[in-house]
Each structure stands twice: as C-alpha cells, then as structure tokens.
C-alpha cells in the first residue's frame, strides 16, 4: 500500500506498482468502442501506461495531452491512458482536445486493474478511482520504469518516462 496525498491530505492505494523487472499483470479494460482490450492487443510494442483518476480534471487532461505529443515522436510505442472514466467521456475528451496518439481504456466492466496494479484509491474523497501513476514496459511486457506520483494534483515526470522508453 502506498501513501500519497490529495492536496496535502494523505490517501492510500490498494498496493504497490508492479516492480521494475517484473512482467506486467494482464488486464481487461474497455476502449471507446466498448471493446475489451488486454495486453495481447499491444503485443510487440513498448508501452507507457498513463494511469489517471479522471480525464475530467486539469492535471489528468494535461498528462494525456503531453503524452499524446511525446508518443507521436517515438517508434514502436503506444501510450495507454487508463482511468475509471466512462468510454464515452474519454472519447469525447480525445476528440475535443485533438488527442490522437493516446489509447484510452476504462475500468468500465471490472475493477481488477486498480487492484492488480496497486493503484486503486481505497480512502479519501476519490476512493474507487485510480491514483496518478506511470508504468513503462518493453515489447515483452517487462517493467522498466514506474512512478507513483506522490501528490495527485501533480503531473508525472514525463522526461523520466520518455527516457525509460528510449533506453529500451
């Protein structure tokens, strides 16, 4: 369990991020076309998992836009934005913001992702949503970088995540 903060107040996650060197846990999440996706759908690609509470917040929206720009410059890399947002909302966000290089996935049908990745918020006003975190994995789903952002109202370390991808 990680202790992070929301505007300075402590909140807790359901566990810890996958360890560097470990294999990503598989997931089943829902895309904007209401189709279920798993890790197998991104086989052979480097992966940036941009995990956010909700794209309806300024910081989450900023991180999706930032990764959208950065991933467009990377070879063989996919950025997957994962939240508890409804697929309709994430699709509307991407269209209105011109986000074209980020794949949005939702915990619409199951909450397993949050627990398996240790990012489900278990208390505080955002309980049930996901914490802000970044996980980078290579083409074989081996974790090469993680960041549990210590303050939910803070942006992730984009340069650290991108450096991890480019060093693979």
Catalytic site positions = 60
Q: What does the angle CA 16 – CA 19 – CA 22 come to, to the nearest 5 degrees?
A: 135
Q: Residue 70, SS3?
A: helix
Helices and strands in the chain, H and E counts:
4, 9
Q: What does the angle CA 13 – CA 15 – CA 21 come to, to the nearest 5 degrees?
A: 130
Q: How many Å apart are CA 3 and CA 23, to the nearest integer?
A: 23
């Amino acid at each position: 369990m990680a202790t992070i903060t929301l505007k300075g107040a402590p909140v807790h996650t359901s566990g810890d991020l996958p360890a560097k060197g470990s294999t990503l846990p598989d997931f089943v999440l829902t895309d904007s076309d209401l189709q279920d996706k798993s890790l197998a759908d991104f086989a052979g690609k480097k992966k940036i998992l941009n995990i956010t509470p909700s794209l309806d917040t300024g910081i989450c929206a900023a991180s999706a836009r930032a990764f959208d720009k950065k991933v467009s410059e990377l070879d063989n890399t996919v950025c997957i934005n994962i939240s508890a947002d409804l697929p309709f909302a994430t699709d509307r966000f991407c269209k209105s913001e011109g986000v074209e290089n980020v794949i949005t996935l939702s915990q619409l049908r199951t909450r397993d992702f949050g627990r398996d990745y240790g990012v489900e918020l278990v208390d505080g006003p955002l309980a049930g949503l996901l914490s802000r975190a970044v996980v980078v994995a290579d083409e074989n789903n081996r974790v090469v970088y993680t960041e549990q952002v210590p303050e939910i109202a803070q942006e992730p370390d984009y340069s650290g995540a991108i450096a991890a991808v480019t060093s693979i």
